[in-house]
Amino acid sequence: MNLWISAVGQGLLYGVLGIGLFITFRILDFPDMTVEGTFPFGAAVAVSAITHGVSPIIATLLAMVAGMLAGLCTGLLATKGHMPLLIAGILTMTGLYSINLRVMGRANLSLLNQANLFTSKLLGGMSMFTSSVVVGVIVTVIVVVLLILFLNTEIGQGFIAAGDNRVMARSLGINPDSMQVLGLVVGNGLIGLSGGLIAQNNGYADVSMGTGVIVIGLASIIIGEVIFGNLTLSQRLVAVVLGSIIYRFVILIVLKLGFNADDLKLISAIVLALAIIVPQIDERLHLRKALKNGVKMDE
């Protein structure tokens, strides 16, 4: 039972990552490779801060700020440096590897015997499994509500317009480059926050923990979209979190079937590939049926 509770907790915490990626991948419609550097950067900052006596809440907020700075760096390289966004993200991600080593002072850093957000007295001595769900619910609700409020502001609407059509946005007096930087800052801030939360939940930060997280984020987005169908933008934010939880359940079931944990990255890639391919196959089958029915009616 604890494993299923843990899967829900992990799904909620990774759901914040999925929302961060959703901002750049879906709303602004561009791939951001900064993710795989931002996630461990947030983890490194949070864990290092806690080991230096900083309050876990402040350390978690610092993780988010660290992610925002990483997103700002990518945004400036892309807009002011006129680099392709993919290259800008890869450069930031590569540079963050060394920065993470500097922040932690080593390849990994443990929170052994250190209080963190999930062992707080405010949680009343809950188990780590239950506390991950409670913290995950609180954080995701705050993030989703704040994002919904933001997206319904004038700036938020300009942000959405810039993602839909840069030319039209510019004709309306919106600066697409500014919106792009804003999207990267907000998105990577959430990814850094997720990294800080996951590191505290796991009890350590590792310089390589960002490898493959972009697949986890994309899986959360696509599974949520496939299962819940056509939704409003606000509803899609919730669907991303639910997609993340479902993804954790799928991974847990696969591992329970006897697959090796070393194959987790491969399994994640396969799950994401199936989530993308299956709806396309289903759509083609429906199209073929519709065409056949049309032919029969003509006859």
For residue 172, which phi and psi values (nearest 5 degrees)? -90, 5
Give the tens place of pLDDT for each residue, 247-269. Answer: 999 888 888 887 777 777 788 78
Q: Identify the weakest region by mean pLDDT among 11-20, 205-214, 226-235, 284-293.
A: 284-293
Residue 126: which pLDDT band, with cuts at 50, 70 and 90? confident
Answer whether residue 28 shows pLDDT above 90. no
- The conformational region for residue 153 under phi > 0 = left, psi -120 to 50 = alpha, else beta, is beta
Answer whether residue 290 shows pLDDT above 70. no
Mean pLDDT for 234-253 is 91
* Domains of the chain by residue range: 2-211
Residue 1: which pLDDT band, with cuts at 50, 70 and 90? low
Mean pLDDT for 130-157 is 92
Q: Could you tell me where the DSSP H helices lie in the chain?
A: 2-22, 35-51, 56-79, 85-104, 128-151, 154-164, 166-171, 176-202, 213-228, 233-256, 264-298
How much is the pLDDT for 45? 96
Residue 294: which pLDDT band, with cuts at 50, 70 and 90? low
Coil, strand or helix at 53: coil
Mean pLDDT for 193-213 is 92
Between 124 and 54, whose confidence is greater?
Answer: 54
Between 263 and 114, whose confidence is greater?
Answer: 114
Q: How far apart are CA 56 and CA 298, in angstroms?
A: 69
Q: What is the pTM of this model?
A: 0.89
Mean pLDDT for 286-290 is 56
Residue 293: which pLDDT band, with cuts at 50, 70 and 90? low
Between 88 and 264, whose confidence is greater?
Answer: 88
Nearest to 92 by CA among 128, 137, 38, 40: 38
Q: How far apart are CA 48 and CA 59, in angstroms?
A: 8
Q: Identify the weakest region by mean pLDDT among 74-78, 165-169, 221-225, 244-248.
A: 165-169
